[in-house]
Amino acid sequence: MSIETSPFQRRRPLSQIELDVIPWMRLLSADERERAVEDLKVTDAQAGDFICRTGRPVTYWFGVIDGLLKMSSDNAEGQTMTFTGVPPGGWFGEGTALKREIYRYNIQALRKSLVAGLHVDTFHWLLDHSIGFNRFVMNQLNERLGQFIAAREIDRMPNPNIRVARSLAALFNPVLYPGLGTVLRITQQELAYLVGLSRQRVNEALTMLTTQGAIQVEYGGLKVTNLQALRTGLFL
């Protein structure tokens, strides 16, 4: 009989291939990189697994090596508001790690994902010793602020086509998700979870966006051909 284990229990050191896709590693000196590599761990999160939960104390700064996560929070009425998805290359939780406070959001895997974690103590050590790491985190915080403001705007938009377009644009942020390129591996159901619409309505929006030349629907994913159009939604 198999024993179910948590993502934390499944953690392991990263392979060289996994280390190579971490965007901030190349900004470190040899000593800083050695410290980070010794501390970094990765786990395979299954669909539905929680990486962070509201009210839990911060222990790690997380990043997605492969897969797709959802960042959301629940209000007093039990309603869930999704802030954004986190595709490969994305690191998150730097604000919480900086203040060493409890999480104010949930992070959940939408599909099987590889998630890396850097302990909060090492995170602060790098802040104290690495100018390159400081700049990376500062850029993350700046972009994240704009992302959350946009998420609140998207959540209030009555036009579902614009909601889908703007939500897709947020997933192709080159600062928060470097290395993603122009193709995102995502299903219509996963996008529906992120946007808060039915799969059928998301399909209609994607069809319209394809007709307008903003995206191309490929097998198992989407290719953005006009990112500016997705961001503005002026043609919708």
The domains found in the chain, sorted by start residue, are: 16-154 (2.60.120.10), 158-232 (1.10.10.10)
Q: What are phi and psi of 25, to 5 degrees?
A: -65, -35
Could you read off the pLDDT of 121-159 as tens digits, one per residue?
999 999 999 999 999 999 999 888 877 777 666 666 678
Q: Residue 211's CB: how many other CB atoms inside 10 A?
A: 9
Report, as an integer, the average pLDDT of 213-218.
Answer: 90
| Alpha carbon distance 39, 33 (integer Å) | 10
pLDDT over 90 (residue 175): no
Confidence of residue 3 (pLDDT cuts 50, 70, 90): low
- Please provide the average confidence, as pLDDT, over all residues in the chain: 88
Counting Cα atoms < 13 Å in the Cβ hemisphere of 86 gives: 27
Share of the chain above pLDDT 70, in %: 91
Confidence tier at 1 by pLDDT (50, 70, 90): very low
Phi, psi of 80 (to 5 degrees): -100, 130
- H/E stretch holding 83: strand 80-86
Within 13 Å and on the Cβ side, how many CA atoms surround 132?
10
> What are the angstrom distances between the C-alpha of 86 and each of 32, 123, 177?
26, 20, 8
